[in-house]
Structure 1
Amino acid sequence: MREQVSKRKTHTKSRKGCFQCKRRHTKCSETHPRCANCTRLEIECTWPASPSGFASHPGSVHTARNRSTLSPDQSFDSPGTPPTLREPELAIEDLRLLHHWSTKTYLSLYPNTTNKYNIWQTGCVEIGFQHPFLLHGILALAALHKAVETASLNPSLFMQAHSHLSSALSAFRNHFAHPTKDVAIPMFLMSTIFILYNLGSARVEEPENPVDAIVHCFRLVKGVRVVIEPFWHHISTSECYTLMEQKFSLEPSPGTQPVEKILRLNDLTERMLHEDPRDKNACIEAIAELHKTFLRIRSCTPEHDRHAVMFVWPADLPDRFLELLSLHNRVATIILANFAILLQQVQCSWWVQDWPRRIISATRVLLENEPELQEWLKWPSEQISVAENVNNQN
């Protein structure tokens, strides 16, 4: 009986796949200009040289996903004649925004904190080239900053900012639902950009309700922690670690005097919320963290980044406290008014400007029929007014 020869299994390995799939040892769909894996991961997709001697590469932020490197109307005179290529299109408006980012916006994010300049000017952009959702965020913030800096009402800048932010959000939500180590660093950077954009957009369009707007930003800050924690080791060994290093390493200096005005908020909490232990405990925890943040700020040296230190507070807030703020609970909003004192200390950053005033004004409106509670706004109002006068003199 003739021995049956087994058929050799068909080889399905991709032989013309992109460099990214080859490095990751995954099968490439070979879809140009961007394969399925790179599209899913939102990373750059580059290809080996084709037989005609041309390599595939992505184009601008807006066109890379929809256009191959060789234009569809190229013509070939004969099989041995090189193709006639149309002059490549450039997204000039995007390039203008990127130029504005790399020359002006990055300097404005954290004034006087030079250790962050290189990260935002070049490091963040390089990562953005690999992860376009981050690049969209960079361009959105650059457009917003350009509008604020020039006091321009040019609708095209707002349209660009909104368009890029929408593109960034769409991809970011997908990654947020299923975060991986590959996108942990760009997601952290993008989360930071979202916070800056949301606060800074008030310079262009005054929020209808400042308390609700700041709560939204606080939720974004807490989202940063969600992104960071599972991949902490990976992020802490990267260059962008300096963006958050002071958040976790700075502790109050020994002997720093307590801030009695903050601690007395516990008395208000005990008196107003004694019938609801859950609400009372949420506010007491928020006060304790706020007091700790005040002590950290007092311990800051000129080299420390006060922005990073103070935004530890919203990152550590109990969820219930954010719910109370959303409900415009009187005790919670008074606690928030005291946080405005810290914001006043970094008002040199364009994206923070006017927020202390907004918070105090909004809290006064909420307490307008309760003069006794308005007394609790006296100290934060005085502190902010004094700081404003000093800033104006400088």
Structure 2
Amino acid sequence: MLRRRHKKSRKGCLECKRRHIKCDETRPRCINCSTAQRECPYPVTGDGAENAPAEVPASPGISPTGSGSVSGLGPGPISSEDIEILPEVPPFPTAEYESPKVDMVHMELLNHFLTDGAMVYPLAVARARSIVMEQALRESYLMHQILAISARHLSIIRPHNETFYHTQAMQLQTHALSLFNSIDISYFEASVDNRVPGFIFSAVLGFHGLCDMLSHRNEDFPSVLARFVGYLHLHRGVYHIMEGHWEEIQETDLKPIFDEGMFWFQMVGKGHECDDIRERIELAGLETDELEATCKAIDLLQCVFDGQPDPVSVIHVLISWGAMVPKPFINMVETGRPEAMAVLAYYFLALHRLRHVWMIGDAGQFLLRVVVDYLNPEWSAWVEKPYRLLMDYLEGDALESQHQLSNEPGYSPGLTMARDFTILRPTAADAARIAEIHLAAMDSNPLLHVQFPTPESLEALRAFLATYTASQLDNPVSGVLVARDPETGGVASFAKWDSPSHPENVKLESGDLQYSEGCSREFLDGYVALAEEAKARSFGDKACYRLSFVCTDPANQGQGAGRLLTRRVLEMAAADGLPVYLESTEVAVPMYEKFGFKAIDAFEMEIPTRSGSTALSEIYREVCMLWHPTKAASSQADGMDVCHGTIF
């Protein structure tokens, strides 16, 4: 292998000096530190010359310092501190390493790759593994990268030794890059066969970059986007290796891999998961090359959702997606175009579909939530479909997990399995049953018994609620739904709300209830005043859905009725593009947080104990919560079968 002598770096970073390796002096982070994910401090001198940015090639949409902009997304551009571009892989000299001594750890890593190669690196299936190993034995930089990805896999599947194997992975990858970058360009130009191991190296290095990108949990979207763009640069380094030699290399030992990759690229999705985003993209007024590239990116994702051509190939398509999509789409991602961010939401959803793959896990749902939370409201409709599908997947996971647990010996369920309740509008004949459920579900709330302290007052309340509900049902657009048991036909739960599309003529607390027999108006009126003040203070009079009650008969709690009703109300609010506001008792706050509600205010009042004492000896508190259509969280809230607040 031809090598070029190098002079020592005199202006390199302190970390490279400490490790006695050559620094390429790229600012703000050199290639060695970026690859190993280390801090990259540079020495400071009086004239400031050491801090001058090095000249590096600018990628489309990314400035030489690594800064870019995210148009139409969130508050402002990405700063240079947000960008952490991982290195590309065109051959240029950086350093010559003294080869580390081979030890038993390396033997373990090699054996792990040879015995579990398809698990470690999904593209290393039987038909390709022999090619990979043949080339790795030929070129040490490729062998070190193979050992690095093997160590990265062990860091995940052996969590008790995670730090050890992760460190091994970073050290081996750093050494692999150093060996690769020290190769003289003339070596690759001498023969196309010399580019074969470079192609494999770039592919494995890109996969390693994807693993590292998916492992991070930074909820700051500019940082997430910067890391994702860095991964794309790394994975697409294969184009630099093969530039001008694509036809020749397809006739080498890599021909079977290229033929299969071309087959994948030409596939067209047949399912409907991506219909919504495809229609929006076609109407978005993109340039011709952008439109074609984005539609190809969508086609590949639809194939993943379809599970075609086979389960193994689906994994290959998804992990190669960043390298397969056309360049115009990559440019849109680099510049943060919101249309591209919406497509990324589907990519992250597809990742969640393959969460069983070792390097994916829960990364898909995490990244999808970050994108959805960051997009401005005018783009919320673009990502509503993937988010709703994610919620369905998560709910299915929860039910499957509970089903598996219920089959374990000695299992004593705390919650009954969800049932197929029918969600529909009640009839006038259901009014009395709704009133009965209302009182039964609210029985544990201390404020109810302060406001209606005697059996006679509670009976008067029950009669009032039955009459009031019947009057609501006379209004065809009033906000009332029930969950009906399909076997018995009985009502198990109900939800009530107020909204611009489901208005109430008279608020319950403002009507004749205050005159009912035995009502303690001091605590009824006092609660109403505090609740309205809190809403005015925290949310004002902006249009919203105001969820008043979600109450489930105690005999039916834990069966999912309350969850289904809540989801239905959230879906209607999302269709209207409106948030949902509610007041919740503190015990129910965690359940609403699972739906994506956020606490925005709270209020409290002093009340007597339930025993009937007149002394104000207890603090009653409620939390004001708000849900936005694109910021909902998991619908796994199986416990959502109790009333969320007080009686009013």
Is the alpha carbon distance of 1:143 and 1:387 closer, same or farther for their aligned partners in structure 2, counting shifts above 3 Å? Answer: same
In structure 1, which of residues 80, 93, 96 is the aligned counterpart of residue 108 of structure 2?
96
Aligned with residue 294 of structure 2, among 287, 290, 302: 287
Change (3 A) 1:248 1:201: same
Q: Which amino acid aligns with 1:262?
A: I
Give the secondary structure class of the aligned counterpart of 1:140: helix
Residues 213 and 227 of structure 2 are in contact (CA less than 8 Å); yes or no, is this contact kept in structure 1? no
**Alpha-carbon distance change, 295 to 381 in structure 1, aligned in 2, over 3 angstroms:** closer
Counterpart mapping for 1:21-100 below 5 A: 37=1, 91-100=103-112
Residues 107 and 332 of structure 1, relative CA distance in 2, 3 Å threshold: closer
Q: Which residue of 1 aligns with 2:280?
A: 265
Determine the C-alpha separation between the residues in 2 that align with 1:153 and 1:183: 37
**Which of 349, 354, 369 is matched with 1:346 structurally?**
354
**Cα pair 1:328 1:366 within 8 Å, conserved:** no
Q: Which residue number corresponds to residue 226 of structure 2?
A: 212
Distance 1:299 1:142, change over 3 A: closer
Distance 2:172 2:337 in 1: 35
Give RMSD over aligned pairs: 3.5
| Aligned ranges 1:126-141 → 2 under 5 Å | 126-141=134-149
Return the index of the structure with the highest Cα Rg: 2
TM-fit CA distance, 1:296: 4.4
Deviation per CA, 1:34-75: give whole Å up to 9, x if none: xxx4667xxxxxxxxxxxxxxxxxxxxxxx9669xxxxxxxx
The question of whether the paired residues in 2 share the 8 Å contact of 1:269 and 1:283 is answered with no
Aligned to 1:16: none
1:374 Cα offset (Å):
1.9
Match of 1:84 in 2: none
Give the Cα separation in 2 of the matches to 1:38 and 1:391.
54
Answer with 200-209 or 343-352: which moved more. Answer: 200-209
Q: 1:94 touches 1:139 (CA, 8 Å); kept in 2?
A: yes
Q: Say if 2:341 is the partner of 1:333.
A: yes
- TM-score scaled to structure 2, two decimals? 0.41
Matches of 2:353 and 2:176 in 1, distance apart? 30
Instruction: Say whether 1:183 aligns with 2:200.
Output: no
Matched to 1:109, the amino acid is: Y
Confirm whether residue 363 of structure 1 aligns to residue 363 of structure 2. no
With the length of structure 1 as denominator, give the TM-score of the two structures: 0.64
For structure 1, which runs of at least 5 residues remain unmatched after alignment? 1-36, 41-63, 68-88, 271-276
* 8 Å Cα contact 1:221/1:314 also seen in 2: yes
Distance 1:243 1:385, change over 3 A: farther
Q: Structure 1 residue 204: deviation in Å? A: 5.0
Task: Say which structure is richer in strand.
Answer: 2
Select which of 246, 250, 263 maps to 1:232. Answer: 246
1:377 to 369, 383, 389: 383
SS of the aligned residue for 2:372 comes to: helix
Conserved 8 A contact 1:221-1:311: no
1:116 aligned onto 2:131 = no
Deviation at 1:240, TM superposition (A): 4.1
Q: What amino acid is aligned across from residue 247 of structure 1 in structure 2?
A: G
Distance in structure 2 (CA, Å) of the matches to 1:391 and 1:173:
45
Look up the SS of the partner of 2:160 in the other structure: coil
Query: What is the one-letter code of the residue matched to 1:220?
Result: L
Partner amino acid, structure 1, of 2:144: H
What whole-Å deviation, never above 9, does each CA across 1:211-258 have from its counterpart, x for those lacking one? 2222222223332234345443554344444434322124347x9467
Post-superposition offset of 1:140: 0.8
Give structure 2 stretches of 5+ with no counterpart. 5-96, 402-648
Shift of 1:335: 2.0
- Residues 100/390 of structure 1: CA separation in 2 closer, same or farther (3 Å cut): farther
Residues in 1 aligned to 2:280 and 2:162: alpha-carbon distance in whole angstroms: 45
Cα distance change, pair 317–302 in 1 and its aligned pair in 2 (3 A)? closer
- What percentage of residue pairs aligned between the two structures are identical? 17
The whole-number CA distance in structure 2 between the counterparts of 1:146 and 1:346 is 19
The alpha carbon displacement at 1:192 in A equals 1.6
Bigger helix share: 1
- Paired residues of 1:222 and 1:315 also in contact (CA < 8 A): yes
SS of structure 2 residue aligned to 1:305: helix
Residue in structure 2 matching 1:386, options 382, 386, 392 = 392
2:132 maps to amino acid: C
- What's the counterpart of residue 604 of structure 2? none
User: 1:130, CA displacement in angstroms?
Assistant: 1.0
Tell me which amino acid in the other structure corresponds to 2:209.
N
Within-5 A mapping of 1:243-258: 243-250=257-264, 251-252=266-267, 256=270
C-alpha separation between the residues in 2 aligned to 1:38 and 1:366? 49
Aligned equivalents of 1:96 and 1:257: distance in 2? 43
Q: Is the 8 A contact 1:148 1:203 kept in 2?
A: no
CA distance in 2, matches of 1:296, 1:176: 40
CA apart distance, 1:269? 2.8
The whole-number CA distance in structure 2 between the counterparts of 1:390 and 1:185 is 44
